[in-house]
Structure 1
Amino acid sequence: MLVVSRATGENKFECTTCPYEYPIYRNYTDRTVLTRKEADDVLGGEDAWKNVDQTEAQCPKCENNRAFYMQLQIRSADEPMTTFYRCTVLQCSAQWRDQ
């Protein structure tokens, strides 16, 4: 983390978990391009959908009446769980969630 020293007023890199400090004496520039993950990667990929239950839910893409579902706590503990659905028709496999 980049911080300004209270003692000297100079910039330094400082570790937030240990006492390590690295003073900065010249201009330093670094860019990192972040690649966004697909929502399926965040949810665990294809393996997350193995052995999940089915329920009656209409697919918004093909209007099939059955869907696989799983529930995850993605917000704070006092918020309700979010239900994710996936169409049971292999050719469709659309994914959506309850709003």
Structure 2
Amino acid sequence: MLLFCPHCANILTVSRTNQGTNRLECRTCPFEHTITEPVFSRRVYERKEKEDVFGGPGAWDNAQKARVQCPTEACDGHEAAFYQVQIRSADEPMTSFYKCMVCGHRWREN
């Protein structure tokens, strides 16, 4: 939680007085405020639903298809949707992301 000086609008910092109490002080002007009770702020954030990076649940339906063996041993799928992204430096090859059309398993190849 950030607190600001009511006189000059600079950020207040916490310091200790000679008596051992804490205070908020402005480093620009002579404003001081002794802290007499706990100062805190609690904010609960709602988590967003996890989204598919490629564009949602239906995005894989329109993706290009390739004949490739699914790496999952229990699946005998031979078709996968794929897309390619340059995630490393420009002199490195693109990374291909695959999704098996039979079992839905996802993997990538560099």
TM category (shorter chain) comes to 0.5 to 0.7
Query: Counterpart amino acid of 2:107?
Result: W
Tell me the residue number matched to 1:45: 56
CA deviation string 1:40-64 (max 9, x = no partner): 6333332431311211111112131
Structure 1 counterpart SS, 2:13: coil
Q: Using structure 2 for the length normalisation, give the TM-score.
A: 0.50
Tell me the residue number matched to 1:66: 79
Q: Using structure 1 for the length normalisation, give the TM-score.
A: 0.54
Structure 1 counterpart SS, 2:65: strand
CA deviation string 1:10-59 (max 9, x = no partner): xxxxxxxxxxx8423228988999x7x85x63333324313112111111
Query: Counterpart amino acid of 1:58?
Result: Q
Given the alignment of the two structures, is residue 54 of structure 1 paired with residue 65 of structure 2, yes or no? yes
1-side partners of 2:59 and 2:42: how far apart?
A: 33
Unaligned runs of 5+ in 2: 1-8, 15-23, 25-38
Unaligned runs of 5+ in 1: 1-20
Query: What's the offset of the Cα at 1:73?
Result: 1.7
Residues 74 and 29 (structure 1 numbering): CA distance in 2 closer, same or farther, change over 3 Å? farther
What is the aligned-residue RMSD (CA, Å)? 3.5
Query: What's the offset of the Cα at 1:88?
Result: 1.4
Query: What's the offset of the Cα at 1:96?
Result: 0.7
Q: Which runs of 4+ in 1 moved over 3 A?
A: 27-33
- Bigger Rg, which one: 2
* Structure showing the higher helix proportion among its residues: 1
The percent identity for this pair of structures is 42
